[in-house]
């Protein structure tokens, strides 16, 4: 199995994914409100919103795949990340869940060094 990358090496990809997950989620919610207005209240066309969401979704999908490939995740997680941009509110859930996965997996694979600091190399107290 391939080694898990460090958090520092995927920080940028995670940030890009999180920003686009939020943007796509907001645009999708606005699009859904527009559809409801259009069909229930004879509102204006939603064609422009649909095209904008489609464009944002393509960027989101590429960024999700970029992060997933960097983390060396399987098809199940990649599918979840990509499909989350098409279901209202799910991109917000995915953003939190994916950030947690990245932090947990990178922390488990690369734990922070613990122990005595340089000021106290032996662990002895100053009073002794």
Q: Is residue 99 part of a domain?
A: yes
Count CA within 13 A, CB hemisphere, residue 125. Answer: 2
Can you give the residue range of the structural domain that contains 43?
9-106
Q: What is the number of structural domains in the chain?
A: 1
Interior/surface letters 16-37, b for 16+ CB within 10 angstroms, e for the rest: bbbebbebbbebbeebeebeee
* CA distances in angstroms from 52 to 56, 82, 93, 111, listed in the order given: 6, 17, 21, 41
Q: Is residue 15 part of a domain?
A: yes
Q: Is residue 21 part of a domain?
A: yes
One digit per residue, the tens of pLDDT, for the chain of length 128 reads 557 777 788 889 999 999 999 999 999 999 999 999 999 998 899 999 999 999 999 999 999 999 999 999 999 999 999 999 999 999 999 999 999 999 988 888 777 665 555 554 555 544 44
Q: Is residue 102 part of a domain?
A: yes
> Residue 38 and residue 35: Cα distance in Å, rounded?
5
């Amino acid at each position: 199995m391939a080694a898990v990358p460090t958090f520092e090496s995927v920080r940028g990809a995670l940030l890009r994914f999180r920003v686009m997950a939020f943007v796509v989620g907001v645009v999708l919610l606005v699009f859904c409100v527009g559809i409801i207005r259009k069909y229930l209240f004879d509102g204006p066309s939603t064609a422009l919103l649909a095209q904008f969401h489609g464009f944002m979704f393509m960027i989101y999908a590429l960024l999700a795949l970029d992060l997933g490939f960097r983390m060396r995740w399987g098809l199940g997680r990649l599918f979840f990340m990509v499909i989350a941009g098409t279901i209202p509110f799910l991109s917000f859930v995915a953003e939190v869940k994916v950030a947690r996965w990245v932090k947990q997996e990178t922390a488990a694979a690369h734990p922070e060094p613990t122990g005595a600091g340089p000021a106290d190399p032996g662990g002895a107290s100053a009073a002794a």
